A = this chain, B = another copy of it.
Amino acid sequence: MINKKVLIIEDNNDIRENVVEILELAGYQVFAADNGKKGVDLAINNKPDIILCDIMMPELDGYGVLYLLNKNTETNAIPFIFLTAKAERVDLRKAMEMGADDYLTKPFDDMELLNAIESRLKKKDLQENFYSKSLDRIANLISKNDGLGELKKIISERKSRQFKKNQVIYYEGDKGNNIYLLINGNVKTIKLAEDGRELMTGIYTNDNYLGVQAILSNEVYSDTATALEDSLVCLIPKDQIEPLLSQYPEISREFIKILANDIREKEEQLLQLAYHSVRKRMAEALLRLQRQQNNESFKISREDLAAMAGIATETVSRTLSDFKDENLIDKKGSIITILDLARLAKMKN
Protein backbone atom coordinates (compact mmCIF):
# COMPACT_ATOMS: atom_id res chain seq x y z
CA MET A 1 0.00 0.00 0.00
CA ILE A 2 1.23 3.46 -0.91
CA ASN A 3 1.76 5.79 2.02
CA LYS A 4 -1.06 8.25 2.57
CA LYS A 5 -0.14 11.91 2.07
CA VAL A 6 -0.75 14.43 4.86
CA LEU A 7 -0.45 18.19 4.53
CA ILE A 8 0.16 20.25 7.67
CA ILE A 9 -0.35 24.01 7.56
CA GLU A 10 0.86 25.70 10.76
CA ASP A 11 2.89 28.84 11.37
CA ASN A 12 4.30 27.83 14.74
CA ASN A 13 7.59 26.11 13.98
CA ASP A 14 7.66 23.95 17.11
CA ILE A 15 4.23 22.52 16.60
CA ARG A 16 4.68 22.03 12.88
CA GLU A 17 8.00 20.24 13.17
CA ASN A 18 6.70 18.10 15.98
CA VAL A 19 3.70 17.03 13.93
CA VAL A 20 5.84 16.29 10.89
CA GLU A 21 8.07 14.08 13.00
CA ILE A 22 5.22 12.11 14.54
CA LEU A 23 3.47 11.57 11.22
CA GLU A 24 6.59 10.48 9.41
CA LEU A 25 7.30 8.02 12.18
CA ALA A 26 3.75 6.72 11.73
CA GLY A 27 4.50 6.09 8.08
CA TYR A 28 2.74 8.98 6.40
CA GLN A 29 4.21 11.01 3.57
CA VAL A 30 4.15 14.56 4.98
CA PHE A 31 4.06 18.00 3.35
CA ALA A 32 4.36 21.10 5.51
CA ALA A 33 3.61 24.79 4.99
CA ASP A 34 4.19 27.66 7.42
CA ASN A 35 1.41 29.89 6.09
CA GLY A 36 -1.96 29.60 4.41
CA LYS A 37 -0.91 30.64 0.94
CA LYS A 38 1.87 28.08 0.71
CA GLY A 39 -0.50 25.53 2.15
CA VAL A 40 -3.08 26.09 -0.57
CA ASP A 41 -0.39 25.77 -3.23
CA LEU A 42 0.89 22.53 -1.74
CA ALA A 43 -2.63 21.15 -1.50
CA ILE A 44 -3.38 21.89 -5.13
CA ASN A 45 -0.09 20.54 -6.42
CA ASN A 46 0.20 17.43 -4.29
CA LYS A 47 -3.42 16.38 -3.67
CA PRO A 48 -2.86 15.15 -0.11
CA ASP A 49 -5.23 12.59 1.36
CA ILE A 50 -5.87 14.76 4.39
CA ILE A 51 -5.10 18.29 5.52
CA LEU A 52 -4.33 19.62 9.03
CA CYS A 53 -4.57 23.37 9.33
CA ASP A 54 -4.11 26.00 12.00
CA ILE A 55 -6.71 28.78 12.22
CA MET A 56 -4.69 31.85 13.29
CA MET A 57 -1.98 32.39 10.69
CA PRO A 58 -0.35 35.28 8.86
CA GLU A 59 -0.97 35.82 5.12
CA LEU A 60 -4.08 33.66 4.92
CA ASP A 61 -5.86 32.23 7.92
CA GLY A 62 -7.36 28.76 8.26
CA TYR A 63 -10.85 29.84 7.24
CA GLY A 64 -9.44 31.34 4.08
CA VAL A 65 -7.55 28.13 3.31
CA LEU A 66 -10.68 26.06 3.75
CA TYR A 67 -12.69 28.47 1.64
CA LEU A 68 -10.21 28.39 -1.23
CA LEU A 69 -9.81 24.63 -1.19
CA ASN A 70 -13.59 24.18 -1.15
CA LYS A 71 -13.97 26.31 -4.26
CA ASN A 72 -11.51 24.13 -6.13
CA THR A 73 -13.01 21.00 -7.63
CA GLU A 74 -9.66 19.22 -7.31
CA THR A 75 -9.32 19.74 -3.57
CA ASN A 76 -12.81 20.12 -2.19
CA ALA A 77 -13.17 16.47 -1.32
CA ILE A 78 -10.00 16.25 0.80
CA PRO A 79 -10.70 15.75 4.53
CA PHE A 80 -9.84 18.89 6.47
CA ILE A 81 -8.96 19.05 10.18
CA PHE A 82 -8.53 22.30 12.07
CA LEU A 83 -5.85 22.74 14.74
CA THR A 84 -7.14 25.28 17.23
CA ALA A 85 -6.23 26.92 20.50
CA LYS A 86 -8.96 26.84 23.13
CA ALA A 87 -9.68 30.56 22.75
CA GLU A 88 -10.61 30.15 19.10
CA ARG A 89 -13.30 27.62 19.81
CA VAL A 90 -16.10 30.15 19.72
CA ASP A 91 -16.24 30.57 15.97
CA LEU A 92 -15.38 26.97 15.23
CA ARG A 93 -18.99 26.18 14.53
CA LYS A 94 -18.94 28.33 11.44
CA ALA A 95 -15.83 26.51 10.31
CA MET A 96 -17.54 23.16 10.70
CA GLU A 97 -20.43 24.47 8.65
CA MET A 98 -17.99 25.59 6.03
CA GLY A 99 -17.04 21.99 5.59
CA ALA A 100 -14.25 21.21 8.06
CA ASP A 101 -14.41 17.58 9.06
CA ASP A 102 -12.92 17.69 12.54
CA TYR A 103 -10.80 19.78 14.86
CA LEU A 104 -8.04 19.21 17.39
CA THR A 105 -7.60 21.47 20.41
CA LYS A 106 -4.01 22.50 21.03
CA PRO A 107 -2.10 21.21 22.80
CA PHE A 108 -2.84 17.68 21.58
CA ASP A 109 -0.81 14.56 22.20
CA ASP A 110 0.51 12.09 19.63
CA MET A 111 -2.27 9.56 20.00
CA GLU A 112 -4.99 12.17 19.68
CA LEU A 113 -3.43 13.37 16.46
CA LEU A 114 -2.93 9.92 14.96
CA ASN A 115 -6.39 8.77 15.96
CA ALA A 116 -8.03 11.81 14.44
CA ILE A 117 -6.22 11.34 11.14
CA GLU A 118 -6.79 7.64 10.98
CA SER A 119 -10.46 7.77 11.81
CA ARG A 120 -11.05 10.53 9.32
CA LEU A 121 -9.28 8.63 6.56
CA LYS A 122 -11.30 5.57 7.42
CA LYS A 123 -14.54 7.55 7.22
CA LYS A 124 -13.51 8.91 3.86
CA ASP A 125 -12.89 5.37 2.64
CA LEU A 126 -16.27 4.21 3.87
CA GLN A 127 -17.85 7.15 2.13
CA GLU A 128 -16.19 6.36 -1.17
CA ASN A 129 -17.17 2.78 -0.81
CA PHE A 130 -20.75 3.84 -0.23
CA TYR A 131 -20.55 6.14 -3.22
CA SER A 132 -19.45 3.42 -5.59
CA LYS A 133 -22.22 1.19 -4.29
CA SER A 134 -24.73 3.98 -4.85
CA LEU A 135 -23.63 4.17 -8.46
CA ASP A 136 -25.50 0.97 -9.22
CA ARG A 137 -28.72 2.54 -8.08
CA ILE A 138 -28.02 5.57 -10.21
CA ALA A 139 -27.09 3.44 -13.17
CA ASN A 140 -30.53 1.90 -12.98
CA LEU A 141 -32.16 5.29 -12.94
CA ILE A 142 -30.30 6.49 -15.97
CA SER A 143 -31.56 4.31 -18.74
CA LYS A 144 -29.28 2.58 -21.12
CA ASN A 145 -29.15 4.61 -24.28
CA ASP A 146 -26.01 6.23 -25.62
CA GLY A 147 -25.99 9.74 -24.28
CA LEU A 148 -27.15 8.80 -20.83
CA GLY A 149 -24.43 6.19 -20.74
CA GLU A 150 -21.95 9.01 -21.17
CA LEU A 151 -23.51 10.88 -18.28
CA LYS A 152 -23.29 7.79 -16.16
CA LYS A 153 -19.64 7.40 -17.00
CA ILE A 154 -18.90 10.94 -15.90
CA ILE A 155 -20.73 10.45 -12.65
CA SER A 156 -18.94 7.22 -11.86
CA GLU A 157 -15.57 8.84 -12.49
CA ARG A 158 -16.23 11.88 -10.33
CA LYS A 159 -15.28 11.98 -6.71
CA SER A 160 -18.07 12.42 -4.23
CA ARG A 161 -18.08 15.13 -1.64
CA GLN A 162 -19.57 15.15 1.82
CA PHE A 163 -21.47 18.21 2.99
CA LYS A 164 -22.17 18.59 6.67
CA LYS A 165 -25.50 19.50 8.17
CA ASN A 166 -26.20 23.20 7.57
CA GLN A 167 -23.28 23.50 5.23
CA VAL A 168 -23.98 25.62 2.19
CA ILE A 169 -23.51 23.83 -1.14
CA TYR A 170 -23.87 26.93 -3.27
CA TYR A 171 -25.04 30.48 -2.74
CA GLU A 172 -27.68 32.44 -4.62
CA GLY A 173 -25.83 34.68 -7.03
CA ASP A 174 -22.76 32.41 -7.27
CA LYS A 175 -21.61 31.72 -10.78
CA GLY A 176 -22.95 28.27 -11.59
CA ASN A 177 -20.06 25.83 -11.93
CA ASN A 178 -21.55 22.45 -11.15
CA ILE A 179 -24.66 20.41 -11.34
CA TYR A 180 -24.94 18.52 -8.06
CA LEU A 181 -26.27 15.02 -7.94
CA LEU A 182 -27.42 14.21 -4.44
CA ILE A 183 -26.30 10.64 -3.70
CA ASN A 184 -27.45 10.51 -0.14
CA GLY A 185 -28.96 12.98 2.27
CA ASN A 186 -31.31 15.96 2.21
CA VAL A 187 -30.83 19.40 0.83
CA LYS A 188 -33.02 22.48 0.79
CA THR A 189 -32.84 25.43 -1.55
CA ILE A 190 -33.92 28.78 -0.21
CA LYS A 191 -34.31 32.34 -1.33
CA LEU A 192 -33.66 35.19 1.04
CA ALA A 193 -36.16 38.06 1.29
CA GLU A 194 -34.88 41.58 1.88
CA ASP A 195 -35.80 41.41 5.55
CA GLY A 196 -33.79 38.23 5.97
CA ARG A 197 -36.69 35.81 6.13
CA GLU A 198 -36.15 32.80 3.99
CA LEU A 199 -38.48 30.89 1.72
CA MET A 200 -37.76 27.31 0.84
CA THR A 201 -38.04 26.93 -2.91
CA GLY A 202 -37.18 23.27 -3.05
CA ILE A 203 -36.30 20.22 -1.04
CA TYR A 204 -34.18 17.45 -2.49
CA THR A 205 -33.28 13.92 -1.60
CA ASN A 206 -31.43 10.89 -3.00
CA ASP A 207 -30.88 10.93 -6.76
CA ASN A 208 -32.09 14.48 -7.25
CA TYR A 209 -30.13 16.99 -9.27
CA LEU A 210 -29.41 20.45 -7.87
CA GLY A 211 -28.49 23.60 -9.73
CA VAL A 212 -29.63 22.32 -13.11
CA GLN A 213 -31.41 25.52 -14.01
CA ALA A 214 -28.37 27.76 -13.45
CA ILE A 215 -26.03 25.51 -15.40
CA LEU A 216 -28.28 24.95 -18.36
CA SER A 217 -29.21 28.59 -18.73
CA ASN A 218 -25.65 29.70 -18.11
CA GLU A 219 -26.69 31.94 -15.25
CA VAL A 220 -25.89 32.35 -11.58
CA TYR A 221 -27.63 30.12 -9.06
CA SER A 222 -31.03 31.59 -8.30
CA ASP A 223 -31.17 30.21 -4.78
CA THR A 224 -28.98 28.96 -1.96
CA ALA A 225 -28.60 25.22 -1.41
CA THR A 226 -27.97 24.04 2.14
CA ALA A 227 -27.59 20.51 3.49
CA LEU A 228 -30.39 19.64 5.91
CA GLU A 229 -28.31 16.72 7.17
CA ASP A 230 -24.91 15.29 6.34
CA SER A 231 -25.18 14.64 2.63
CA LEU A 232 -23.10 12.93 0.00
CA VAL A 233 -23.04 14.76 -3.29
CA CYS A 234 -21.50 14.20 -6.70
CA LEU A 235 -20.31 17.35 -8.43
CA ILE A 236 -20.62 17.36 -12.20
CA PRO A 237 -18.73 20.32 -13.63
CA LYS A 238 -20.36 22.53 -16.20
CA ASP A 239 -17.63 21.99 -18.76
CA GLN A 240 -18.32 18.28 -18.69
CA ILE A 241 -22.06 18.75 -19.08
CA GLU A 242 -21.93 21.14 -21.99
CA PRO A 243 -20.40 18.89 -24.64
CA LEU A 244 -22.89 16.19 -23.67
CA LEU A 245 -25.81 18.53 -24.26
CA SER A 246 -24.73 19.34 -27.80
CA GLN A 247 -23.88 15.75 -28.59
CA TYR A 248 -26.66 13.76 -27.00
CA PRO A 249 -30.26 14.98 -27.30
CA GLU A 250 -31.32 12.34 -24.75
CA ILE A 251 -29.41 14.21 -22.08
CA SER A 252 -31.05 17.49 -22.98
CA ARG A 253 -34.38 15.69 -22.80
CA GLU A 254 -33.55 14.34 -19.38
CA PHE A 255 -32.73 17.78 -18.03
CA ILE A 256 -35.65 19.38 -19.79
CA LYS A 257 -37.90 17.02 -17.91
CA ILE A 258 -36.31 18.02 -14.63
CA LEU A 259 -36.82 21.69 -15.40
CA ALA A 260 -40.37 21.22 -16.59
CA ASN A 261 -41.22 19.34 -13.45
CA ASP A 262 -39.70 22.08 -11.39
CA ILE A 263 -41.93 24.62 -13.08
CA ARG A 264 -45.00 22.57 -12.38
CA GLU A 265 -44.11 22.29 -8.71
CA LYS A 266 -43.33 25.96 -8.37
CA GLU A 267 -46.65 26.90 -9.94
CA GLU A 268 -48.43 24.67 -7.50
CA GLN A 269 -46.53 26.29 -4.67
CA LEU A 270 -47.44 29.72 -5.99
CA LEU A 271 -51.11 28.91 -5.93
CA GLN A 272 -50.84 27.66 -2.39
CA LEU A 273 -48.98 30.68 -1.13
CA ALA A 274 -51.44 32.99 -2.78
CA TYR A 275 -54.74 31.60 -1.62
CA HIS A 276 -54.38 28.81 0.89
CA SER A 277 -54.76 29.28 4.61
CA VAL A 278 -51.88 28.63 6.96
CA ARG A 279 -53.43 25.36 8.06
CA LYS A 280 -53.63 24.15 4.50
CA ARG A 281 -50.12 25.30 3.67
CA MET A 282 -48.80 23.49 6.73
CA ALA A 283 -50.59 20.35 5.62
CA GLU A 284 -49.13 20.66 2.13
CA ALA A 285 -45.65 21.13 3.53
CA LEU A 286 -45.97 18.01 5.67
CA LEU A 287 -47.24 16.00 2.72
CA ARG A 288 -44.39 17.25 0.60
CA LEU A 289 -41.93 16.10 3.22
CA GLN A 290 -43.60 12.75 3.44
CA ARG A 291 -43.40 12.30 -0.33
CA GLN A 292 -39.82 13.51 -0.41
CA GLN A 293 -38.61 11.23 2.37
CA ASN A 294 -40.93 8.45 1.44
CA ASN A 295 -41.60 8.01 5.11
CA GLU A 296 -44.32 9.05 7.54
CA SER A 297 -41.73 10.20 10.07
CA PHE A 298 -39.20 12.90 9.51
CA LYS A 299 -37.08 15.33 11.43
CA ILE A 300 -37.39 18.98 10.56
CA SER A 301 -37.02 22.23 12.45
CA ARG A 302 -39.92 24.61 12.94
CA GLU A 303 -37.81 27.19 11.21
CA ASP A 304 -37.49 25.10 8.06
CA LEU A 305 -41.18 24.33 8.11
CA ALA A 306 -41.87 28.04 8.40
CA ALA A 307 -39.65 28.66 5.38
CA MET A 308 -41.46 25.95 3.43
CA ALA A 309 -44.91 27.34 4.02
CA GLY A 310 -43.91 30.99 4.10
CA ILE A 311 -45.22 31.63 7.62
CA ALA A 312 -43.93 32.57 11.07
CA THR A 313 -42.30 29.92 13.27
CA GLU A 314 -44.71 30.59 16.11
CA THR A 315 -47.59 29.95 13.78
CA VAL A 316 -45.95 26.68 12.77
CA SER A 317 -45.81 25.62 16.42
CA ARG A 318 -49.44 26.50 16.96
CA THR A 319 -50.63 24.78 13.83
CA LEU A 320 -48.65 21.64 14.57
CA SER A 321 -50.10 21.58 18.08
CA ASP A 322 -53.58 21.85 16.60
CA PHE A 323 -52.80 19.04 14.17
CA LYS A 324 -51.61 16.90 17.05
CA ASP A 325 -54.79 17.59 19.02
CA GLU A 326 -56.76 16.50 15.99
CA ASN A 327 -54.74 13.29 15.73
CA LEU A 328 -53.49 14.23 12.31
CA ILE A 329 -49.87 14.01 13.35
CA ASP A 330 -47.71 13.06 16.28
CA LYS A 331 -44.63 14.98 17.29
CA LYS A 332 -41.76 14.42 19.68
CA GLY A 333 -39.28 17.25 19.61
CA SER A 334 -38.33 17.86 16.06
CA ILE A 335 -39.55 14.49 14.85
CA ILE A 336 -42.94 14.63 13.22
CA THR A 337 -45.01 11.60 12.30
CA ILE A 338 -47.97 11.79 10.00
CA LEU A 339 -50.84 9.75 11.40
CA ASP A 340 -53.66 10.50 9.01
CA LEU A 341 -52.35 11.15 5.55
CA ALA A 342 -55.75 11.09 3.88
CA ARG A 343 -57.31 13.64 6.19
CA LEU A 344 -54.26 15.85 5.93
CA ALA A 345 -54.49 15.76 2.15
CA LYS A 346 -58.18 16.60 2.16
CA MET A 347 -57.81 19.52 4.55
CA LYS A 348 -60.00 22.38 3.45
CA ASN A 349 -58.77 25.22 5.63
Number of interface residues of A (CB under 8 A): 39
Q: Which residues of B contact A252 (CB under 8 A)?
A: 245, 249, 252-253, 256
- One digit per residue, 1 when the CB lies within 8 angstroms of any chain B CB and 0 when it does not, for chain A 198-229 equals 01010000000000011011010011000000
Which one of A37-45, A94-102, A120-128, A259-267 is at the interface?
A259-267
Q: Is A275's CB under 8 angstroms from B216's CB?
A: no
Q: Is B222's CB under 8 angstroms from A267's CB?
A: yes
Measured CA separation A82–B271 after assembly (Å): 37
Q: Is B193's CB under 8 angstroms from A261's CB?
A: no
Q: Is B217's CB under 8 angstroms from A267's CB?
A: no
Measured CA separation A199–B216 after assembly (Å): 28
**11 intermolecular pairs with C-beta atoms under 8 Å apart:** A191-B267, A191-B268, A191-B270, A213-B260, A217-B261, A222-B264, A223-B267, A252-B252, A259-B260, A262-B263, A266-B266
User: CB of A26 within 8 A of chain B?
Assistant: no
Q: Which residues of B contact A223 (CB under 8 A)?
A: 267
Q: Is A216's CB under 8 angstroms from B260's CB?
A: yes
Interface residues of A in 150-164 (CB under 8 A from B): none
Q: Which A residues contact B (CB, under 8 angstroms)?
A: 191, 193, 195, 197, 199, 201, 213-214, 216-217, 219, 222-223, 245-247, 249, 252-253, 255-257, 259-264, 266-271, 273-276, 310
Measured CA separation A259–B245 after assembly (Å): 15
Rounded to whole Å, the gap between the CB of A77 and the closest CB of chain B is 28
Q: Is A260's CB under 8 angstroms from B219's CB?
A: yes
Checking B217, B222, B262, B273 against A310 with a beta-carbon cut-off of 8 angstroms, the contacting residue is: B273
Q: Which residue of B lies closest to A247 (CB)?
A: B249
Rounded to whole Å, the gap between the CB of A250 and the closest CB of chain B is 8
Measured CA separation A270–B270 after assembly (Å): 6
Measured CA separation A197–B272 after assembly (Å): 11
Q: Which residues of B contact A217 (CB under 8 A)?
A: 256-257, 260-261, 264
Rounded to whole Å, the gap between the CB of A205 and the closest CB of chain B is 19
Measured CA separation A275–B198 after assembly (Å): 9
Q: Is B219's CB under 8 angstroms from A274's CB?
A: no
Checking B199, B216, B271, B275 against A274 with a beta-carbon cut-off of 8 angstroms, the contacting residue is: B199
Measured CA separation A44–B195 after assembly (Å): 59
Q: Is B310's CB under 8 angstroms from A213's CB?
A: no
